[in-house]
Amino acid sequence: MRFTVAERDAALAEAAGEVLAKQTGAEQIRAGWPGGRVESVDAVWRTLAGVGITGALVPESTEDPGLGLGLGLDENALPPLMETLGRSGLPVPAAETIAVAAPLLAAAGCPQLPDVLRGSSLLTLSLADHDAPVPFAARADLIAVPVGDGLRLYARDEVEIDPVGSVDGSRRLARVRAPAGGGLLLAEGPAELAVAYGRGVLATAALLVGLAERMLELTVAHVRERHQFGVPVGSFQAVKHALADVELAVRFARPAVLAAGWAQAAGDPEAAVRTSMAKVLASEAARQAARTAIQCHGAMGYTTEYDLHLYAKRAWALASDWGGPAQHRESIARRLGLSEGVGT
């Protein structure tokens, strides 16, 4: 089966890419870390929201026009858009907002939706266990977390927030304690939560593909310029083979992510398997890219002053987010009727 990106989906990703190319760089990633000027990150996010990315999966019209309008796209739009955002490394809750929360807010008739679509309110969520840290909760205005059998939305001042450390400090993790009552119900029951979770996994897989591609790009540029024994490091066969392996891993992961997007949009009964497969391949490609990039850069790849570590740390964090490779392998094994634990 061949997968191609539809013209409208490609146009949205291209528009986002143009904004990111002009307004982002390693300085914006560092700005998202504690102590950085997060205002510069928020400014880029608002510009991206103006392009329409926050409303990609929000219906074009709603019963109440005051809730704002979306682009009315489906899950096929997520892989190219998220890959573009992943390449940039911009520290924002892209998967949480675009793929999961914004469509749920629209369906629930949430009055905060216009602010989210404009990028003036930062929204994040988690579908993980109740005690699991929530990405970007340390600075988000709106936070959705599981309460009972549903996902509920709270304003920042309605919950208790306890920041925690992370390998990628720009993700601003925090544990969130929400009251038993209150909050706006966004999704309830296994079926609704499964759809939301699948979208989050798909978007994160695409982010990882973009990160892997960016780290490969940085490394290829480095080994072309770095010389040892009078020749470019990139001319060494071991370096060539290592980078070729990364390129191959990325090329295997990208169509798997596209396939998962198609399966979700089409309501394919194997969508969950395809989505888990995409997350496994994308996580492994990004981890391999980070490992190889650091090896090819030598000691400088470990330094906080060098750009590479910003992308590598993001890749390590996202590879485990929305289910790590072992968890998704187990899920695939169960759905295929294999014995539990195969492929872990």
Q: What is the pLDDT of residues 200-211, one digit of tens each?
A: 999 999 999 999
pLDDT value, residue 192: 95
Q: State both tokens at 6.
A: 């539809």
pLDDT value, residue 139: 96
| Residue ranges in the chain modelled with pLDDT below 50 | 63, 343-344
Residue type, 170: S
3-class state of residue 143 by DSSP: strand
Segment holding 255, helix H or strand E: helix 237-266
pLDDT digits (tens, 9 = 90+) for 109-134: 999 999 999 999 999 999 998 789 99
**CA-wise closest residue to 201 among 92, 108, 283:** 283
Segment holding 162, helix H or strand E: strand 160-163
Q: Answer for the pair 289, 215: CB distance below 8 angstroms, yes or no.
A: yes
Q: How many CB atoms lie within 10 A of CB 11?
A: 13
**CA-wise closest residue to 331 among 322, 319, 340:** 340
pLDDT value, residue 343: 47
Class of domain 190-335: mainly alpha
Q: Answer for the pair 259, 305: CB distance below 8 angstroms, yes or no.
A: no
pLDDT value, residue 88: 96
pLDDT value, residue 340: 55
pLDDT value, residue 237: 82
Rama region for 137: left / alpha / beta (φ>0; ψ in -120 to 50; rest): alpha
Residues β-bridged to residue 231: 228
Residue type, 158: E
* Domain segments of the chain as ranges: 7-188, 190-335
pLDDT value, residue 185: 95
3-class state of residue 123 by DSSP: strand
Residues β-bridged to residue 281: none
Q: How far from the centroid of its chain's Cα atoms is residue 270's Cα? A: 22
Integer Cα distance of 318 and 207 in angstroms: 8
pLDDT value, residue 321: 96
